[in-house]
Chains A and B, each alone.
Chain A
Amino acid sequence: MKVKAFSILKLFSLLLLILIAATPAWAQSTSRLQLDSLDHLTPKASQTIVINIDERVLKLGAPFLKSTDPNEVKIKELLDGVKGIYVKSFMFEKEGEFSEADVQVVRSQLNSPDWLKIVEVRSQKEGENIDVFIKTDNTKIEGIAVIAFNSKELTVVNIIGSVDMDKLRQMEGQFGIPELELEGGSKGDEPQPGKKN
Chain B
Amino acid sequence: MSDYLWDPSAEADPEVEEFEEALSCIRYRANTSKLPERLESAIGARHTFRSSHLFAVAASVALLMLAFGVWLSWNNYQKQASLVQVAGGNQNYVLRDEAPKTNAGFEQSRDMILTTETTSELQKPRPKLQRNATPRKPLEKPDNGYNNGGSASSRVMVTKMPVRNLYASNAVNGEAAKEQIMLALQISSAKLSLAQRLAQGNAARQSKLNP
Interface residues of A (CB under 8 A from B): 2-3, 6, 9-10, 13-14, 17-18, 21-22, 25, 42-54, 56-58, 60-65, 75, 78-79, 85, 87, 89, 91, 93, 119, 121, 123, 126, 128, 130, 132, 144, 146, 148, 155, 157, 159, 165, 168-172, 175-182, 184-185, 187, 189-191
Determine if B185 and A171 form an interchain contact, defined as CB atoms under 8 angstroms apart.
Answer: yes
0/1 per residue, B180-191, Cβ < 8 Å to A?
111111111111
Determine if A178 and B127 form an interchain contact, defined as CB atoms under 8 angstroms apart.
Answer: yes
- Closest 7 A-B residue pairs measured CB to CB? A61-B177, A52-B82, A43-B150, A178-B127, A61-B178, A180-B190, A171-B189
Q: Contacts A178-B121, A187-B197 given; indicate if A60 touches B190 (C-beta within 8 A).
A: no
Determine if A21 and B194 form an interchain contact, defined as CB atoms under 8 angstroms apart.
Answer: no
Complex CA gap A64/B149 in Å reads: 39
Interface residues of B (CB under 8 A from A): 45, 48-49, 52-53, 55-57, 59-60, 63-64, 67-68, 71, 78-79, 82-83, 85, 116, 118-121, 127-129, 146-151, 153-157, 159, 167, 169, 171, 173-199, 201-202, 204
Determine if A172 and B169 form an interchain contact, defined as CB atoms under 8 angstroms apart.
Answer: no
Complex CA gap A191/B67 in Å reads: 52
Question: Looking at chain B's contact residues, is the secondary structure mostly helix, strand, loop, or mixed?
Answer: helix
Q: Contacts A14-B59, A130-B191, A182-B194 given; indicate if A121 touches B174 (C-beta within 8 A).
A: no
Question: Looking at chain A's contact residues, is the secondary structure mostly helix, strand, loop, or mixed?
Answer: mixed
Determine if B187 and A180 form an interchain contact, defined as CB atoms under 8 angstroms apart.
Answer: yes
Q: Contacts A13-B60, A176-B129 given; indicate if A6 touches B49 (C-beta within 8 A).
A: yes
Q: Please give me the residue from chain B that is nearest to A75 by CB atom.
A: B185
Determine if A49 and B153 form an interchain contact, defined as CB atoms under 8 angstroms apart.
Answer: no
Determine if A9 and B183 form an interchain contact, defined as CB atoms under 8 angstroms apart.
Answer: no
Determine if A148 and B185 form an interchain contact, defined as CB atoms under 8 angstroms apart.
Answer: no
Determine if B147 and A155 form an interchain contact, defined as CB atoms under 8 angstroms apart.
Answer: no
Chain A residue contacts of B67, Cβ below 8 A = 18, 21-22
Q: Contacts A119-B195, A121-B198 given; indicate if A178 touches B129 (C-beta within 8 A).
A: yes
| Interface-centre pick from B56, B63, B198 (highest chain A CB count, 10 A) | B198
Determine if A176 and B128 form an interchain contact, defined as CB atoms under 8 angstroms apart.
Answer: yes
Chain A residue contacts of B55, Cβ below 8 A = 10
